[in-house]
């Protein structure tokens, strides 16, 4: 045996051994897994929603409002640029719609061309002139990019929120241009997650100008730079009081580094502790120093923390807080404090979300799906193995051995990838098992022809593999191309099917070409010069 052949054999033995090693953890209990090395403990397939049970949510992103909110920043850029270039204008407004725009009029005719030239220098913007009236809006490509960024940011924030609840491998994906699908396998409290996902979680910190009662609030007229906001609602659903706070926030959730649920043993209540970044911490210190100097009974000593336009806490500041650390107190339970900490850490959603579809799959249904999938897979393996043994005798049994290792290596590959196994994935496994022997059928038919032609067994085997190789490669490449298209254009379970199919075909190429050839050569060598039949 040549050195090259020895290396080929060692590679085949090594791949089969490692495949078996990485496949085994999927069938061990938690106690048995704890005794394995770290790299094996983490190499497991995950069960998808349809197999494990859990919750499915389809969310609609309020794209129009989100785009308009982002576009308000562009409007400020237009206003600042016009003032810098000393272009007189009036009636600058934002026109809402799918593609919002800034519309204004220049006071002098000669300024129209100048304004158009300057505004067209702004990145991502295009400006049209109609007499004295100018319209500025995002370029179509940049509008699509903005909409995609809103979807991507929403997915990222939702993922961070549900990840921190300990949910088993949540899956958050985009669907279409303005919808998001959230799959939460094994979730036991869907209402809690819906509450977390559905909150925009826009956190801001404001100075307090005054605290007034319900009667005063009815006749209150906001002064410039302030706004009225309700305190927590009472049992009857009516706010207990109102705060007059600064219109512009002193700090926002963008300055937040961390937030954790804690417990105040002195007052026996749950709290949320937070940490601000450097600039936020310095601003926080300046504001608290200023508020601490006010008289004890002055309502302006309070510092309001507002979440989604509701005051969650408004403590009176007694002294400067120099390190950017603070606490939020209120009528929190441990769970509600933890939920608030999760929302603060994950950040604010860029858009409002609406639940369009909700499904809950029970564990019993998932268990039934697993049993059905196992039965289908075992049945397909058994049927194929019997057929191969009947049609090709000993060589059929060799193909059966390769089929077993094909299944082992396929499961090992999915485990290493930490893939999520779904019903379509099981269908892909069953289909791959049926297709795995196609190559062997082609090879064995070629081998049969060469033996009938009087070739010696070793030569007939080599010719059988060589002549069938081109057909095998062509057939598998076309199937892989179809699977790749499914993965590229599909979503969710369709992608799972495509991944399983691609991996299964790749593994079947290895087992059908290299493993069966190795075993067949060993079998022919074992029989020495005795005739071989197939």
pLDDT digits (tens, 9 = 90+) for 325-382: 888 777 778 887 887 787 777 777 778 888 888 887 766 555 676 777 778 778 888 8
CA triple 277-279-281, angle to 5 deg: 60
Answer yes or no: is pLDDT of 167 > 70: no
- pLDDT above 90: percentage of residues in the chain: 1
Give the model's pLDDT for residue 298: 86
Question: Which of 501, 516, 525, 504 shows the shortest CA–CA distance to 446?
Answer: 516
Q: Mind listing the pLDDT tens digit for each residue in 437-478? A: 888 888 888 888 888 888 888 888 888 888 888 888 888 888
Domain 3-48+364-527, CATH class in plain words? mainly alpha
* Mean pLDDT for the stretch of residues 95-106: 85
pTM for this one? 0.60
pLDDT band at 2 (very low <50, low <70, confident <90, very high): low
- 69-73, 107-111, 249-253, 434-438: lowest mean pLDDT where? 69-73
- CA–centroid distance for 200 within its chain: 18
Query: d(Cα 246, Cα 203) in Å, to the nearest integer?
Result: 14
Higher-pLDDT residue of 51, 306? 306
Q: Cβ(532)–Cβ(451) under 8 Å?
A: yes
* Mean pLDDT for the stretch of residues 5-25: 87
Query: d(Cα 349, Cα 337) in Å, to the nearest integer?
Result: 19
Answer yes or no: is pLDDT of 1 > 60: no
* Mean pLDDT for the stretch of residues 270-279: 85
Give the model's pLDDT for residue 437: 83
Answer yes or no: is pLDDT of 267 > 60: yes
pLDDT band at 278 (very low <50, low <70, confident <90, very high): confident
Query: d(Cα 118, Cα 78) in Å, to the nearest integer?
Result: 10
Answer yes or no: is pLDDT of 492 > 70: no
* Mean pLDDT for the stretch of residues 411-440: 82
Three-class DSSP labels, 473-528? HHHHHHHHHHHHHHHHHCCCHHHHHHHHHHHHHHHHHHHHHHHHHHHHHHHHHHHC
Alpha-helical regions (H) of 198-356? 214-218, 278-292, 334-346
Query: d(Cα 296, Cα 318) in Å, to the nearest integer?
Result: 8
Answer yes or no: is pLDDT of 509 > 60: yes
Query: d(Cα 88, Cα 110) in Å, to the nearest integer?
Result: 11
**Range(s) for CATH 3.30.1360.200 in the chain?**
203-319
H and E: helices and strands count for the chain: 17, 19
CATH architecture of 203-319: 2-Layer Sandwich (3.30)
pLDDT band at 220 (very low <50, low <70, confident <90, very high): confident
Dihedral sign computed on CA atoms, order 279, 284, 290, 293:
negative
Give the model's pLDDT for residue 366: 59
Answer yes or no: is pLDDT of 14 > 80: yes
* Mean pLDDT for the stretch of residues 109-128: 85
Give the model's pLDDT for residue 336: 79
Which tokens in the block code for residue 332?
């929190």
| Mean pLDDT value across the chain | 82
End-to-end CA distance of the chain: 25
Query: d(Cα 351, Cα 31) in Å, to the nearest integer?
Result: 44
Give the model's pLDDT for residue 166: 57
* Mean pLDDT for the stretch of residues 16-20: 89
Q: Cβ(381)–Cβ(63) under 8 Å?
A: no
Q: Mind listing the pLDDT tens digit for each residue in 294-309? A: 888 888 888 888 877 7
Alpha-helical regions (H) of 262-362? 278-292, 334-346
Q: How crowded is residue 310: how many other Cβ atoms within 10 Å of its Cβ? A: 13
Q: Mind listing the pLDDT tens digit for each residue in 29-44? A: 777 777 778 777 777 7
**Range(s) for CATH 1.20.1640.10 in the chain?**
3-48+364-527
What are the distances in angstroms from CA 17 to CA 9, 304, 408, 486? 12, 63, 10, 31
Give the model's pLDDT for residue 237: 60
Residue in the block written with tokens 């009087």: 454
Strands 242-246, 203-212: pairing is antiparallel
Q: Mind listing the pLDDT tens digit for each residue in 172-186? A: 888 888 899 888 877
The CATH number, out of the four listed (3.40.30, 1.20.272, 4.10.940, 3.30.1360), of the domain defined by the range 63-143: 3.30.1360
**Any idea what DSSP says for residue 248?**
S
Dihedral of CA atoms 299, 337, 263, 235 in degrees, nearest 10, equals: 60
Q: Mind listing the pLDDT tens digit for each residue in 201-215? A: 777 889 888 888 877
**Any idea what DSSP says for residue 131?**
T
* Mean pLDDT for the stretch of residues 382-394: 88
**Any idea what DSSP says for residue 250?**
S
């Amino acid at each position: 045996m040549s050195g090259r052949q020895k290396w080929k054999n060692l590679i085949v033995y090594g791949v089969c051994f490692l495949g078996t090693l990485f496949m085994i953890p999927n069938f061990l209990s938690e106690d048995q897994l704890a005794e394995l090395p770290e790299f094996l403990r983490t190499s497991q397939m995950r069960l998808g929603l349809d197999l494990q049970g859990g919750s499915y949510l389809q969310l609609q992103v309020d794209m129009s409002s989100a785009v308009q909110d982002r576009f308000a920043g562009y409007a400020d850029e237009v206003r600042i640029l016009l003032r810098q270039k000393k272009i007189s204008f009036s009636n600058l407004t934002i026109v809402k719609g799918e593609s919002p725009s800034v519309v204004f009029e220049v006071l002098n005719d000669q300024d129209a061309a100048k304004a158009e030239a300057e505004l067209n220098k702004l990145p991502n913007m295009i400006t049209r002139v109609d007499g004295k009236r100018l319209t500025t809006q995002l370029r179509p490509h940049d509008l699509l990019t903005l909409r995609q960024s809103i979807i991507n940011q929403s997915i990222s924030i939702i993922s961070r929120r549900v990840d921190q609840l300990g949910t088993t491998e949540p899956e958050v994906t985009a669907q279409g241009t303005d919808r998001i699908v959230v799959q939460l396998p094994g979730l036991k409290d869907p209402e809690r997650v819906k509450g977390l996902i559905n909150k925009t979680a826009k956190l801001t910190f404001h100075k307090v100008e005054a605290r007034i009662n319900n009667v005063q609030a009815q006749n209150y007229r906001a002064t410039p730079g302030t706004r009225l906001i309700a305190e927590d609602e009472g049992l009857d659903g009516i706010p207990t009081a109102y705060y007059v706070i600064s219109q512009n926030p002193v700090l926002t959730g963008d300055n937040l580094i961390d937030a954790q649920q804690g417990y105040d043993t002195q007052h026996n209540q749950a709290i949320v502790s937070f940490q601000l970044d450097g600039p936020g911490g310095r601003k926080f210190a300046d504001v608290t120093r200023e508020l601490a100097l006010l008289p004890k009974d002055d309502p302006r000593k309070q510092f309001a923390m507002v979440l989604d336009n509701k005051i969650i806490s408004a403590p009176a500041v007694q002294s400067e807080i120099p390190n950017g650390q603070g606490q939020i107190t209120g009528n929190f339970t441990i769970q509600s404090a933890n939920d608030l900490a999760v929302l603060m850490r994950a950040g604010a959603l860029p858009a409002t979300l609406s639940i369009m579809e909700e499904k809950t799959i029970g564990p019993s249904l998932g268990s039934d799906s697993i049993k059905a999938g196992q039965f289908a897979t075992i049945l397909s393996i058994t049927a194929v193995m019997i057929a191969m043994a009947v049609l090709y005798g000993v060589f059929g049994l060799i193909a059966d051995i390769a089929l077993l290792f094909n299944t082992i290596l396929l499961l090992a590959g999915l485990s290493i990838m930490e893939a999520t196994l779904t019903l379509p994935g099981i269908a892909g496994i069953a289909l791959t098992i049926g297709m795995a022997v196609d190559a062997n059928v082609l090879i064995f038919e070629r081998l049969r022809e060469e033996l009938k032609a009087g070739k010696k067994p070793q030569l007939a085997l080599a010719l059988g593999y060589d002549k069938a190789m081109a057909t095998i490669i062509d057939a598998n490449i076309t199937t892989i191309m179809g699977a790749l298209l499914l993965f590229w254009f599909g979503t969710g379970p369709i992608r799972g099917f495509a991944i399983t199919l691609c991996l299964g075909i790749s593994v079947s190429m290895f087992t059908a070409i290299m493993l069966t050839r190795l075993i067949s050569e060993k079998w022919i060598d074992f029989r020495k010069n005795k005739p071989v039949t197939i």
